[in-house]
Structure 1
Amino acid sequence: MKMKRRLKRRPTAGSEAKAYENIEVSQVVQENLEHLKNILGESMDVKILFFSDRPIPFVVCFIEGLVNKQQIDLSILQPIHDWQDGEEDVIPEKLISQIEVSSAVSKHQLFGHIITPVLKGQVAVFVDGANTAYTIPLEFFPTRGIDEPESQTTVRGPREGFIETLQINTTLLRRRISNPQLRFKSLQVGNITKTSVLVAYMKNKADQQVLNEVMNRLHNLDTEKVFEGGMIEELIDENGYTPFPTFQSTERPDIAAAALAEGKIVIMMEGTPFVLVTPVTFISFFQAAEDYYSHYDLSILVRLIRLLSFGISIALPGVFIAVTSFHQELIPPNLLISLAAQREGVPFPAFMEALIMEVIFEILREAGIRMPRPIGSAVSIVGAIVIGESAVAAGLVSPAIVIVVSLTAISSFVSPYYAFSGAARLLRFLLMVLAASVGMYGIIIFMLALFIHLCSLTSMGRPYFTSMAPFTDEQDDTMLRLPFWWKNTKFYKKWKSQS
């Protein structure tokens, strides 16, 4: 009889955590020392200092590189040593009171409540004769300076951007909103990473149902690791597959502050300069911070250009393929003769021409992003020009398709938010396939399906087309950006009272 070999199940990160989190702190400091060594292991950055020769033995545990070692010596070790050397009646209960730190000292009786603060940069102190351990926040590690955001640049406006440190990011928000209604709720996500997350909101502005929904989804996250806000965005999204983002990602404090003032929720995470704003609408991705720092007439023009550019970036290649392949009667005769002359000798149909050029441009785009900055833009620009001219000279594509693809690519960069332009990049290829298959009928079917899909989307329960459909009183800042004094007019106040 053949014996089936039973595979030994490997313990998960969650089971390893539960193995120590319910261990109680012992009154014998040597036992606590053994628990620390078993839990944290023999890692070079883990420092466990055992002072066994003192009247009251004690242990100090911290992670090197996350704490201020000089502050440990001055505020913890030196005061305890001086007190034990000069005090005759040395008792464990008084030892921890000698620590000279400005921050609060927390008491813990379970190792599960001690290890996580230590791994976040706090110092743990175990005292012989006491069944309570103490954690002291002495975090200190290098941070990046506050610079101008690179993903959302403006001609006019603040130059400050979020960085990877939560404490500094909350300060940037407090500087812009000096209001006691601004609140922050903290939690940790990721069974392994234990990533710190803050949820910011205005108590008197935010929708309580939306806030509760955000907190519930974050608390119920079942994942091992979280390193960036995009991972949280994907994990808590309530929609099925959609290429359109339902969270607004920004690294500008002024945009986050404006969202809070409008009653939205801002999700901030340790280790990334990007924060998430929810709920958002379709039109939110066409609104830039600079719209509110420039005169309203110029802002209206620029916003309309963004909407037009979004349509061009999705539909232009598909429309060109459909018209040149199926509906030549829609082209003026002189232009039709010119296009036919350009395509003479080209071995590929219009769809293959557009597909080849689109794929080449996507490759150049990714190469320009991944390459070093001084040469990345030069490679993408020069590469597009050289390859485009060479393809036309070799007779592989027509000059018209090079113009179409170039205009489409430029239009895709107009959107203020990179994630939203990515949706146009994906949908463009689908529309090209439909246009090459059934012509304008495929484009009409695609557009109808696209609008139905957008109308079905929600962002934390709020419809994606809010303020556009149904029509509400928020029209002063949707497709148009009306002047700020508009809200003080009698007409607006009357309309607001009737709606």
Structure 2
Amino acid sequence: MSNLFSLFKRKRHIPEKEAQPSYVDSKISINLKDNILQMKDVFGDSIDVKTIHFLEAPIPFVICYIEGLVNKQQLDLSMIEPIKRWQIENKKNGKPVELIHQIEVSAQIKSSQQMDDIITAILRGKVGIFVDGLDEAYTVPLETWPSRSVEEPVAQTIVRGSREGFIETLQVNTSLIRRRLLDPSLRFKSFQVGTITKTPIMVAYLESQVDQKVLQEVISRVSNINTNKIFETGMLEELIREKGYTPFPTFQATERPDTAAAALAEGKVMIMMEGSPFALITPTTFISFFQAAEDYYHHFDVSSFTRIIRLISFFLSISLSAIFIAVTTYHHELIPTSLLVSLAAQREGVPFPVFVEALLMETMFEILREAGIRMPRPIGSAVSIVGAIVIGESAVAAGLVSPAIVIVVSLSAISNFVSPYYELSGASRLLRFVNMMMAASAGMFGIIFFFLGLVIHLCSRTSMGRPFLTPIISIHPDKLKDGIFRLPLWWTQTKFHKKWVQKS
């Protein structure tokens, strides 16, 4: 019997230690030919790696760079030509160290005795230069690569506000933050993640506002990431999020610089990554996903009303189909008589129960939405809209579903898109199916149990050690001033408000 149970035990997989490349911990040789052989061994015969040899010069040297990542015109004018000119003028008196001083670049030239550092710099677009007689190599910052210009965000469009959005270049994104926060306490800390990709990560915060415990937790989690590759902040989020499963995002992803700057001014921490236009904001709260940057550009009463609409839409998206299933299956007494007769007439001839109807239509809509996203942009939206109309009408005409379930599923799906953050819609899509199953099993009692479990789950979640339901669970007036309702900015900054907060 013990052998039988041992078959079902999960063995803990202990990953083997990865073999290090040959150039790791390797020193730069004083012999130039040894360095050339090592570079050839590292890069092989890759066609984009260019190595220029100047072995017949009075002081032999070699330049190595990757084509497409280096400004070749500046390479000729700032490096090769000045070095050639200097060597002609100083055939006998020149020293190897003086050769580096001839490079005419405004940025800082760095040196290292480790081959690993030079290889990494070359892969990032810098030019490596090896000089015969020196036991160290130098990297010259002449990198350049194609990148798109700053454009309007695609995933977070607004009517009023800045049209600038983050792009895939990390330096441009940091400059967009600097333009909005003219505070000397703004800090950027750099990290490198991924043994293969070596992706640059930037952690931003305001020294005068940040919670030091949260900052240290973020730095600790980013520093302890152990992975081969990372290409997007979504992968980074999964690696540093809290333990335990939750369908809700615990990081706020944004591609808007004004949203990121506002979060930094509130004392939060932001994580950016090279190659991704989305920045992660932490710690975040459940109510943050119903707040948009545009709320502060409109009148406070309109913004508060909009936030209430977003909250209502979220609960409609996860419960409308479930309530329809529960009422029409178990609780007919809750439906007015005239409406009950109309629903019964619509369902005459439908071969499936209400739960199967709803599940069929919800699945159809998810397929159409995914197809609309993956199809080419010019035809994707048209196909998804026409497909939804045609399939809905055809299903009703064929007697597979009733017209009422089409209306319910459509309203539930539309409510899913009201949130300013797409990450929350993924959670609501999953919760909708769970709630439908609970409603089909126990009616309204199943829905009540579902929401009780949802509240308990949300109360147990944290974001970087901070409660996820802040400020909903708080009774302090100062923390509630910008929660579900947006109070006037002038009122929250008056002396009367500050005194009232202190007394309470």
- Fold similarity call, TM over 0.5: yes
Query: Structure 1 residue 16: deviation in Å?
Result: 3.2
Name 2:6's counterpart in structure 1: none
2: distance between equivalents of 1:471 and 1:85?
78
**Runs of 4+ residues over 6 Å off in structure 1:** none
Would the aligned equivalents of 1:144 and 1:163 in 2 still touch at CA under 8 Å? yes
SS class of match (1:284): helix
8 Å contact kept, 1:250–1:274: yes
Q: Distance in 2 between matches of 1:12 and 1:255?
A: 42
Q: Percent identity?
A: 63
- Give 1:257's aligned residue: 261
Whether 2:66 is the aligned partner of 1:63: answer yes
Q: Which residue of 1 aligns with 2:81?
A: 78
- Residue of structure 2 aligned with 1:28, choices 6, 11, 31: 31
8 A Cα contact 1:239 1:457, kept in partner: no
Which SS does the other structure have where 2:480 is aligned?
Answer: coil
- 1:314 lines up with 2:318 in the alignment: yes
Q: Which residue in 1 is equivalent to 2:481?
A: 476
In structure 2, distance between residues paired with 1:277 and 1:40 = 38
How far apart are residue 456 of structure 1 and its match? Answer: 0.6
* Counterpart Cα distance in 1 of 2:346 and 2:376: 37
The 8 Å contact of residues 474 and 480 in structure 2, kept in 1 or not, is answered as no
Distance 1:63 1:451 in 2: 54
Name the structure 2 match of 1:232.
236
Counterpart of 1:47 (choices 46, 50, 53) is 50
**Is the 1:13–1:191 contact (alpha carbons within 8 Å) kept by the matching residues of 2?**
no
The answer (yes or no) to whether the contact 1:327–1:439 under 8 Å persists in 2 is yes
Task: Note the C-alpha offset of 1:239.
Answer: 3.0
Q: Which amino acid letter does the alignment assign opposite residue 485 of structure 1?
A: W
CA drift of 1:491 comes to 4.0
**Counterpart residue type for residue 291 of structure 1:** D
Q: 2:359 aligns with which of 349, 355, 358?
A: 355
Q: Which residue of 2 aligns with 1:175?
A: 179
Distance 1:456 1:115 in 2: 46
Question: What's 1:494 paired with?
Answer: 499
Deviates more, 1:349-358 or 1:204-213: 204-213
- Please point out which of 377, 387, 405 is paired with 1:383: 387
**Where does residue 4 of structure 1 map in the other structure?**
none
1:140-219 aligned within 5 A: 140-219=144-223
SS of the aligned residue for 2:101 comes to: helix
1:467 deviates by 1.3
The verdict on how the C-alpha distance between 1:381 and 1:334 changes in structure 2, with shifts beyond 3 A counting, is same
Structure 2 stretches lacking a partner, 5+ long? 1-14
Give the CA RMSD over aligned residues.
1.3
Q: CA–CA distance in 1 between the matches of 2:502 and 2:140?
A: 55
User: For the residues of structure 1 that align with 2:387 and 2:33, how far apart are their CA atoms?
Assistant: 67
Deviation at 1:495, TM superposition (A): 2.6
1:326 maps onto 2:330 in alignment: yes
Q: What letter corresponds to residue 490 of structure 2 in structure 1?
A: W
> Is 1:111–2:111 an aligned residue pair?
no
- Separation in structure 2 between the aligned mates of residue 301 and residue 366 of structure 1, nearest angstrom: 31
1:26-46: CA deviation from partner (whole Å, max 9, x where unpaired): 111111111111112110111
Asked if structure 1 preserves the Cα contact closer than 8 Å seen for 2:205 and 2:267, the reply is yes
Matched residue count:
488
User: Which amino acid in 1 is paired with 2:493?
Assistant: N
TM-score w.r.t. length of structure 1: 0.96
Letter in 2 for 1:25: I
What TM-score does the superposition give when structure 2 sets the normalisation length?
0.95
- Paired residue for 2:11? none
The 3-state SS of whatever aligns with 1:317 is helix
Task: Give the superposition deviation at 1:447.
Answer: 0.5
* Deviation for aligned residue 1:12: 8.4
Separation (CA, whole Å) in 2 of partners of 1:498 and 1:112: 60
Structure 1 position 194, deviation (Å) = 0.3
